[in-house]
Amino acid sequence: MASVTFITPEQKRITINHAVGSLMEIATHHDVEGIEGACGGVCSCATCHVKIPAAWQEKVGTASDGEKAHFDFMDNAAENSRLCCQIEMSEALDGLEVEVAGEEG
């Protein structure tokens, strides 16, 4: 089964093995700080903002329009930003690392 590591703004690493579901669901079930998933995974909030390291960008893919609608208005968003409710964990992503963006400003 696939594992994923969340790296918090304080550089704490939280690894979850046997991860299933969206990254937002996985993070909130494990109380990863900085990932809230307030709207339940439909891109109406931006409380599950992560950044994807270069090595993983191709496999993870780029942001959808629903995600970009937020990034345009956020100071801490970058090219590699994603809302992790839109990233479904899979075997192909085994070993994935993502950086939790944390609060703006």
Partner 1 sequence: MNTTHPEAAAPLRCPMQGEEIPMVVDYRVLRQVSKDWKQFSSDVPFRVPIPSEEEDRSVRQLPIERDPPLHSEYRKLVDAWFKRPRSAEFQQELSRLIGEQLTPRINGEAFAAIHDLALPIQSLALTKLLGVPESESERWISWGTHVFHSNTGEHHGQALEDYLNEQFDRAEQEGGEDFFALLSGCEFQGRRLSREELLGFGNLAFAGGRDTVINSICGLLGHVAEHPEDLERLRAEPTLRAGALEELFRWISPVTQIGRVCPHGATLQGLEVPPMGRVSLNWARANRDPKVFPDPNHLDIARMPNPHVAFGSGPHSCIGATHARALLRCLLDILCEQKLRVEILEASREHAPSPYHNANIYRKLKIRLRSSGI
List Cβ<8 Å contacts ≥24 apart for 18-25: 19/89, 20/89, 21/88, 21/89, 22/84, 22/85, 22/86, 22/87, 22/88, 22/89, 23/48, 23/50, 23/84, 23/85, 23/87, 23/88, 23/89, 23/98, 24/48, 24/83, 24/84, 24/85, 24/87, 25/85
The binder of partner 1 chosen from 12, 15, 20, 40 (CB under 8 A): 40
Stretch near partner 1 under the rule CB under 8 A, chosen from 2-10, 14-22, 43-51, 54-62: 43-51
Among 19, 41, 52, 93, binds partner 1 (CB under 8 A): 41
Work out whether 82 is an interface residue with partner 1 (CB under 8 A): no
- Told to check if 10 binds partner 1 by CB under 8 A, we report no
8 binds partner 1 (CB under 8 A): no
Among 22, 28, 80, 81, binds partner 1 (CB under 8 A): 28
Q: Which residues bind partner 1 (CB under 8 A)?
A: 28, 36, 38-46, 64-70, 73, 75, 104-105
